[in-house]
Amino acid sequence: MYANIIVDISHEQLDKTFQYLIPFELEDQIQVGMQVNVPFGKGNRMLTGYIVEITNIPEFDVTKIKPITSVVEGKVKVEGRLIQLAAWIRHNYGSTMNQALKTVIPIKESVKQKEKKAVKLIISIEKAKEYLAEFERKHNGARVRFMESLIEDEIIEYGLVTGKLNIAAQTIKSFESLGIIEISIEEYYRNPIKIKPQDEIRNVLNKTQKYITDSIKKDYDDGIRETYLIHGITGSGKTEVYMELIEHVIKQGKQVIMLIPEISLTYQTVIRFYRRFGDRVSIMNSRLSKGERYDQFTRALKGDVDIMIGPRSALFSPFENIGLIVIDEEHEGAYKSETAPKYHARETAIEIARMNNASVILGSATPSLEAYNNALTGKFKLFTLDERAKDSKLPSVYVVDLREELKEGNRSIFSTKLQELMTDRLEKKQQIMLFLNKRGYAGFISCRACGHVMKCPHCDISLTSHNNGKLVCHFCGFDQPMVKKCPKCESKYISGFRAGTQQVEEAVMKMYPEARVLRMDMDTTSKKGGHEKILAAFFNHEADILIGTQMIVKGHDFPNVTLVGILAADMSLYASDYRAAERTFQLLTQAAGRAGRGEIAGEVIIQTYTPEHYSIIAAQNQDYQAFYEQEIMYRTLLNYPPVCNMLLVKLASKDEKALETAVKTMKIGNNIKAGSSETDEIQVIGPVNATLYKANDIYNKVIYIKAVSYELLTKYKDVIEAFAKDNSNFKKISIQFDFNPMNM
Ligand code: ADP
Ligand code: ZN
Ligand code: ZN
């Protein structure tokens, strides 16, 4: 046996491994992640290195491979554990070891240490309040916001002011010249805001919150480690629960990783954690450069922080003693990596917790089917928070049947009911959000008169219309000619819903020329910080109506929004993907949760062609349970995850012919077998052309393998990899694996 070893983990190239022979007497002992002593170079000087891979394939002349000298005694170090984790990721999700290592260990880059600017209030609070009153009189939104923040926190990191708080550099300058603030240069690692400990006003936990925290604390102190799922509606006080438990764990000298979807990492959230935990908190975001990420890594390694908050990649914080991992909004698609290795943060967190003897807390208002299923089977422990923590009421939700609107001659994108309520809110100077659900929209065909959707007779997934005049199933390859009439009611109004956010904006401006409108979509947010700017402007009531795609449903709380209109709920319902209903339910529930976050109760209008669909009924009643029961039945009937596991194998090539040949030689079940009788335990679908068959001159085909056993699928992955490596037909083919894909 041979071991591939990295001798310097801070090296710029992690892929620089050296191969050594594992001496017979060490064979039982050697494991990935261990530190070993090895002779290095011509002079055979002794170095220590980490084992990253164990293999029986020598990479060069066996007579020249030197043996490992000895194992470094003692506990596996943090870096060693990360290497073990990389090996686990490679095994479970498929990638090269190098890709897996680069995912878990950031690469050192020689970057100059940055200085960090901060703004500091240099006048008294009384004086500051006078200024505030003046700015309020002048309705100067940005100045009011800036002043309010300064009164709360006297020192704020410059980047937070310009970024999350959305204050222009000019405004900061004007405050400076008025002698209100001074801009100071702090050392890079200093805390971003100064906390005055007496400032932290803590909410007293309510009965349910207390029950949850007490139960989890007790488990923890009894040495019980679990994965918990907190199913709590938006605003029910989940974050408060996380903070209480985080505090409990760090008091015992352990560290905590807290994952939050990037879009929810708003100024309000960040500040809340700083207030509670001060400079022991560190925040990551995906915009960090390689060098900055490396700095965060060393900071955690040195023990300078206790809590790392961030998106997916924060999971790999090199803490010595991880006690707890929290994943907020665990159902979010962003927790799955889109590049190889395509790991899921939820499962990876559970593995990290297992390696470190830590617990995991998952939280969501609309748990993923996976998590809820695990909670019901007892694999996770379930807690529920079903009331809002503050007195604000849940909104009333109405469903409008667009087929009826059409019958009554209303061809506009706004139903009569929605128009009435919009007029009402504009008169009352309250705010409105209009939400166009375009997620996963892939050109499905539906009847505007009866709501009938063209679906694949084999997969129950929507057919997608193609330019060649055909309707195609992207799952099994079934196709049929485009229809001219609805097969159900014979109406000729059969087509897709084609309105975009821009058309919605035009329609609103035509109908309400006085209203101030903001639009948030890919076009208006492509610039850096673009979406934060729009949200901040809306938050400050610089507009009456915010129109947007799914981007607007998360993050900020808008206390003055009392009406949310969901224009075409069906758009995501018929994406050609078995998760379409789940995603629709999540989006509708979240969008509805935007209404009535303040004192006044809110109303929500869901416009749809299929009011009878269970995901719409469940969203209307805000009934997760009912949704789950229907959805799990559907997954069971058609054998989709979480009832089974599914491996997507994607084959790509520039050479269409070569791809055809390769796919033909594969034959899973005949040529590719992962074991003796295992072929009957799997179901193979495809190969078929991918949704984007030809993209950037690359042709793509996909194969789906379903099996109950995840481990069996990882075996198939290994066998396919080995088959491709030894087969000359695969020279021009690249293969990618995706386990339980989020997007088909
Ligand atoms: P979630 O994370 O479930 O959306 P949060 O923890 O953010 O909920 O709480 C929603 C709001 O209710 C916040 O403004 C929070 O400060 C407040 N809140 C939470 N728990 C309590 C409590 N026990 N008493 C009073 N206010 C609370
Ligand atoms: Zn019809
Ligand atoms: Zn099909």
390 lines ligand 1 (CB under 6 A): yes
Question: Is the CB of residue 166 less than 8 Å from the CB of residue 130?
Answer: no
593 lines ligand 1 (CB under 6 A): no
Q: What is the pLDDT of residues 580-609, one digit of tens each?
A: 899 999 988 988 888 777 777 889 999 998
268 lines ligand 1 (CB under 6 A): no
| Alpha-carbon gap, residue 655 to 733, rounded angstroms | 8
CB-CB neighbours of 598 under 10 Å = 16
Question: Is the CB of residue 32 less than 8 Å from the CB of residue 84?
Answer: yes
AA identity, residue 98:
N
- pTM > 0.75: yes or no: yes
| Alpha-carbon gap, residue 255 to 245, rounded angstroms | 12
Secondary structure element (H or E) that encloses residue 565, with its range: strand 561-566
Q: Is the pLDDT of residue 140 over 90?
A: no
- Going from the Cα of 472 to the center of ligand 3, the distance in angstroms, rounded, reads 8
Substitution site in 200, 201, 203, 243 for ligand 1 pocket (most atoms within 8 Å of beta carbon): 203
Cα-Cα end-to-end distance for the chain: 40
- Going from the Cα of 641 to the center of ligand 3, the distance in angstroms, rounded, reads 16
- Going from the Cα of 450 to the center of ligand 2, the distance in angstroms, rounded, reads 4
Mean pLDDT value of segment 300-308: 90
Q: What is the pLDDT of residues 373-431, one digit of tens each?
A: 999 999 999 999 988 887 777 788 999 998 898 889 887 889 999 999 999 999 999 99
Q: Is the pLDDT of residue 478 over 90?
A: no
Least confident of 11-15, 236-240, 417-421, 677-681: 11-15
Q: Pairing mode, if any, of strands 70-71 and 35-40?
A: antiparallel
> Can you give the pLDDT at residue 460?
72
Name which residue sits closest to atom 19 of ligand 1, judged by CA. 237
> Can you give the pLDDT at residue 109?
59
AA identity, residue 636:
T
Q: What percent of the chain has pLDDT over 70?
A: 91
Q: Which ligand ends up closest to the CA of 598?
A: 1
Q: Which ligand ends up closest to the CA of 455?
A: 3
Q: Is the pLDDT of residue 12 over 60?
A: no
Atom of ligand 1 nearest to the CA of 234: 4
Q: Which two tokens stand for residue 85?
A: 């984790």
Mean pLDDT value of segment 31-60: 87
- Give which of 520, 522, 561 is closest to 544, Cα–Cα: 561
| Alpha-carbon gap, residue 573 to 316, rounded angstroms | 35
236 lines ligand 1 (CB under 6 A): yes
266 lines ligand 1 (CB under 6 A): no
363 lines ligand 1 (CB under 6 A): no
| Residue 575 vs residue 11, higher pLDDT | 575
Q: Rounded to whole angstroms, what are the CA distances from 283 to 236, 314, 324? A: 24, 9, 16
Residue 217, helix vs strand vs coil: helix
| Residue 255 vs residue 559, higher pLDDT | 255
Least confident of 57-61, 75-79, 161-165: 161-165
Q: Is the pLDDT of residue 198 over 70?
A: no
Name which residue sits closest to atom 5 of ligand 1, judged by CA. 237
Question: Is the CB of residue 36 less than 8 Å from the CB of residue 68?
Answer: yes
448 lines ligand 1 (CB under 6 A): no
| Alpha-carbon gap, residue 136 to 610, rounded angstroms | 47
Q: Is the pLDDT of residue 193 over 60?
A: no
Q: What are phi and psi of 3, to 5 degrees?
A: -120, 130
Question: Is the CB of residue 588 less than 8 Å from the CB of residue 616?
Answer: yes
Q: Which ligand ends up closest to the CA of 485?
A: 2
pLDDT-based confidence at 192, cuts 50/70/90? very low
> Can you give the pLDDT at residue 115?
59
Substitution site in 239, 309, 385 for ligand 1 pocket (most atoms within 8 Å of beta carbon): 239
pLDDT-based confidence at 114, cuts 50/70/90? low
Atom of ligand 1 nearest to the CA of 328: 2
- Going from the Cα of 505 to the center of ligand 1, the distance in angstroms, rounded, reads 34
Task: Name the range with the highest mean pLDDT among 437-451, 478-492, 728-742.
Answer: 728-742
239 lines ligand 1 (CB under 6 A): yes
238 lines ligand 1 (CB under 6 A): yes
Mean pLDDT value of segment 660-682: 81
* C-alpha gyration radius of the chain: 28
DSSP string, 625-689: HHHHHHHHHHHHHHT-TTSSEEEEEEEEES-HHHHHHHHHHH-BTTTB-SSSSGGGG-EEEEEEE
Q: What is the pLDDT of residues 342-356, one digit of tens each?
A: 999 999 999 999 999
| Residue 246 vs residue 53, higher pLDDT | 246
- Give which of 464, 435, 529 is closest to 691, Cα–Cα: 464
Please name the residues in contact with 429: beta carbons below 8 A apart, sequence gap of 6 or more: 544
Q: Is the pLDDT of residue 730 over 50?
A: yes
pLDDT-based confidence at 113, cuts 50/70/90? low
501-531 residues labelled b (16+ CB within 10 A) or e (exposed): beebbebbeeebeeeebbbbbeebbeeeeeb
Name which residue sits closest to atom 21 of ligand 1, judged by CA. 389
- Going from the Cα of 394 to the center of ligand 1, the distance in angstroms, rounded, reads 14
Q: Which two tokens stand for residue 33?
A: 């992640």
> Can you give the pLDDT at residue 9?
62
Q: What is the pLDDT of residues 76-112, one digit of tens each?
A: 788 889 999 999 999 999 988 888 988 998 766 555 5
